[in-house]
């Protein structure tokens, strides 16, 4: 089974530009979550999608957005890039189920290798 | 105060030693994850726990829900275990995932 694939692996952008990152989950996984990793802040949760709907969102400005397609692939977009957005962006997929009003977490998080974004 | 605290931050040990990394959290959780990240490498999930104890090879993870505490143990440590170990919890209240700052482990041959 193929793992989680993130593209591109590296990106260099200029302040003020926007960027789109892509994540293809493991086949059958409908949950995709995104994270930012920096030396100073460590790993931080950005948002999570399930069946094309955003389930929750971390404490990031509105410049950070995402979406999920019907095939579970997900993209995240950062507009008006700032120097502080330089980071490793990771996505993870997992199996999540629903039972009545509860969410069932059936599997660990499977991470992609990340996209390293440098903003100059 | 961070909602997920790990200790120690850094740990250097000799090959063969028994290693313990601790994680304390202050929120109600649906699940707790132990992750491993090698330098320049991706993140690998080691365990997902919601209760009790799990074992995989030389790795053991335990969780005490009442005390809001989890431990990751490595038996017979080896230089290839050198990595950053990260504890993460899924908050029961809002389903967000909260990470600890990580424990940098260095095993000397």
pLDDT of residue B81: 97
Give me the residue from A33, A42, A92 closest to B101, CB to CB.
A42
Measured between beta carbons, the chain A residues lying within 8 angstroms of B86 are 42-43
Q: How confident is the model at residue A1 (pLDDT cuts 50, 70, 90)?
A: low
Q: Name residues 44-103 of chain B within 8 A of A (Cβ).
A: 44-45, 47-48, 50, 86, 88, 90, 94-102
pLDDT digits (tens, 9 = 90+) for A81-92: 999 999 999 999
- Exposed / middle / buried, residue B86 (Cβ in 10 Å: 0-12, 13-18, 19+): buried
List the structure tokens of B31.
Answer: 């699940």
Measured between beta carbons, the chain B residues lying within 8 angstroms of A35 are 97
Give φ, ψ of B77 to 5 degrees: -60, 150
Measured between beta carbons, the chain B residues lying within 8 angstroms of A114 are 42
Measured between beta carbons, the chain A residues lying within 8 angstroms of B33 are 108-109
Give me the residue from A42, A56, A103 closest to B99, CB to CB.
A42
What's the full length of chain A, in residues?
A: 120
DSSP for B46-101, please give it.
EEEESSEEEEETTEEEEEETTTTEEEEEESS--GGG-EEEEEEEEETTT--EEE--
Question: What distance in Å separates the CA atoms of residue B13 and residue B99, rounded to the nearest whole number?
Answer: 24
Question: What distance in Å separates the CA atoms of residue B42 and residue A108, rounded to the nearest whole number?
Answer: 15
Q: Which residue of B has its CA nearest to A110?
A: B45
Q: How confident is the model at residue A103 (pLDDT cuts 50, 70, 90)?
A: confident
DSSP for A57-116, please give it.
E-S--TTEEEEE-TTS-EEEEE-S--GGG-EEEEEEEE-EEEETTEEEE-S--EE---EE
Contact, A92 vs A35, CB < 8 A?
yes
- Inform me whether the pLDDT recorded for A98 exceeds 80: no
pLDDT of residue A102: 76
- Inform me whether the pLDDT recorded for A99 exceeds 90: no
Q: Which residue of A has its CA nearest to B41?
A: A113
């Amino acid at each position: 089974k193929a793992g989680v694939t993130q593209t591109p692996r590296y990106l260099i952008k200029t302040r003020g530009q926007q960027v789109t990152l892509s994540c293809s989950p493991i086949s059958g996984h409908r949950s995709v979550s995104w994270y930012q990793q920096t030396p100073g802040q460590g790993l931080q949760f950005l948002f999570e999608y399930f069946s094309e709907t955003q389930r929750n969102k971390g404490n990031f400005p509105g410049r950070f957005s995402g979406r999920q397609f019907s095939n579970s692939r997900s993209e995240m977009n950062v507009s008006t890039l700032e120097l502080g957005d330089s980071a490793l962006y990771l996505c993870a997929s997992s199996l999540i189920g629903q039972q009545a009003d509860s969410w069932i977490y059936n599997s660990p998080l499977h991470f992609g290798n990340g996209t390293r974004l440098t903003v100059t | 105060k961070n909602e997920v605290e790990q200790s120690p931050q850094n740990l250097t040990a000799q090959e063969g030693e028994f290693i313990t990394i601790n994680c304390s959290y202050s929120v109600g959780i649906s699940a707790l994850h132990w992750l491993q990240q090698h330098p320049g490498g991706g993140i690998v999930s080691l365990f997902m726990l919601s209760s009790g104890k799990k074992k995989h090879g030389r790795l053991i993870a335990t969780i005490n829900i009442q005390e809001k505490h989890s431990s990751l143990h490595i038996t017979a440590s080896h230089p290839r275990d050198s990595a950053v170990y990260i504890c993460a919890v899924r908050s029961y209240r809002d389903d967000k995932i909260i990470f600890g700052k990580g424990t940098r482990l260095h095993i000397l041959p």
